[in-house]
Amino acid sequence: MIIGGLVSLPGRRLLATLAGFWLIGTAALNAVADAPTDSTWIPITPLPHQGRSAVFALAVDPNNNQVLVAANSEGTLFRSPNAGTTWVGVHTGKAPVLTIAFSTNASGLVLAGTRGSGALVSRDGGATWAPAAGLEGRAVRAFAFALGLVAAGTDRGVYVSNDGVKWSASGLANHGINALAVEAIHAPVRLVAGGDAQAAGGILPLYQSVDAGVTWTDFNPPVSGTIVVKLVAGPLPPTGNVRPLIVGTNTGLFASTDNGTSFGALSGGALLPATDYTQVNFITDHYDRFYAGSDGGGSRSGGLWRSDDAGQTFRSLQPPEASVTALAVSNDDQPTLYVATFRPSTHVASLWTYHDTGDTPHGPPASAPAATGARTASAGSDSSLTAFLSSPQLPYIALGLGALAVVFTAVLAHLRGRVR
């Protein structure tokens, strides 16, 4: 009760109890909102004004798995602070964005490469953007990060920068480079670059530099394909100082554990389909765990796969659409994946999230929002109830609702007591 404008001791106790239950309830319900459903494909909000084009540029902050940066087909950059629930336009441009990359070494540094208008740089995690000096007029297709160096693959060779803001040409000016990897992050930095056009004699257009891009030599491993579409170097193994190198070409996926002296095929036969692989992401600091994604190269062979044994075996994550056009992987042992897919028959681009706990993949819930933002019809009350009861968040939901029920019951009892 209130005495002299002050809350009495019983009243203060009641308020403290109610506040405690309220905090428990809201914390539990917030945990439900923040935690993605395990090993289940969940559609997220599409990019505004995406149109009928695929999403190729998508990245997640390595320091915050809720922060995403993506670009639509009109050249506008969007940022989401809440795992794709909402998107905010942070930069408007006229040229399509080809790639977005967060630095793995400099916190807050993000780069975006465009088709013909150079690159954009952000030093605050994608909130604000400015043109990168020295790349004007270039088509910037790939970025790679060493400890004190950033490299970019462009339509006229490789460019390098110390800070991502100011850039200078670094060789291969007569070659279009659309794939780039850092094999050695310490000085002398070792770079590998892949071209977008077939080299003379049908040789795969690969080049390497062992002096941070000062000089380049041809790099001709026994790998099939005529165009390099993806290059990724993984974390260092427990022993040695050679990072695994994965090469995606227009016909398959290949891996090397000896700085490119030899390669093993990861596609064809009983492994992965023989198609183009445009997406490769390692899982945190595990040199032998990675994802490989493909849009199928115009065929139906696209998809998304995971390997936990350096490519000896793969398992499909069964994405809702086979054509995977972009992949961003959070910096967690059980990572959250953000995936863009494209359906060629309808020209619909979709965005998805998937919390990979290693369990059997599940498709999107029947009542989840469609990729277009509309809601699909429910598959029926029985299936909805089953999905609800089997949800791993059910205990948190019960705890939250129970705590809130206690709050309301206590309030009603207090009010009735005052009436009497």
Cβ atoms 292, 255 nearer than 8 A? no
Closest CA to 281 of 251, 250, 317: 317
Contacting residues for 420 by C-beta, under 8 A, at least 6 apart: none
Q: What is the model's pLDDT at position 393? A: 45
Domain residue limits, the chain = 2-34+393-419, 42-374
Q: What is the model's pLDDT at position 11? A: 53
Q: What is the model's pLDDT at position 185? A: 86
Closest CA to 168 of 103, 210, 213: 213
Which fold does the domain 42-374 belong to in CATH?
Methylamine Dehydrogenase; Chain H (2.130.10)
Give the DSSP H or E segment for 2. Answer: strand 2-3
Q: What is the model's pLDDT at position 384? A: 35
Which region, left, alpha or beta, applies to residue 303 given φ > 0 means left and ψ of -120 to 50 means alpha? Answer: left
Quick one: tokens of 172? 């291969």
Q: What is the model's pLDDT at position 413? A: 52
How distant is the alpha carbon of residue 381 from its chain centre? Answer: 34
- Below-50 pLDDT ranges, the chain: 1-7, 9, 14-34, 367-401, 403-404, 406-408, 411-412, 415, 419-420
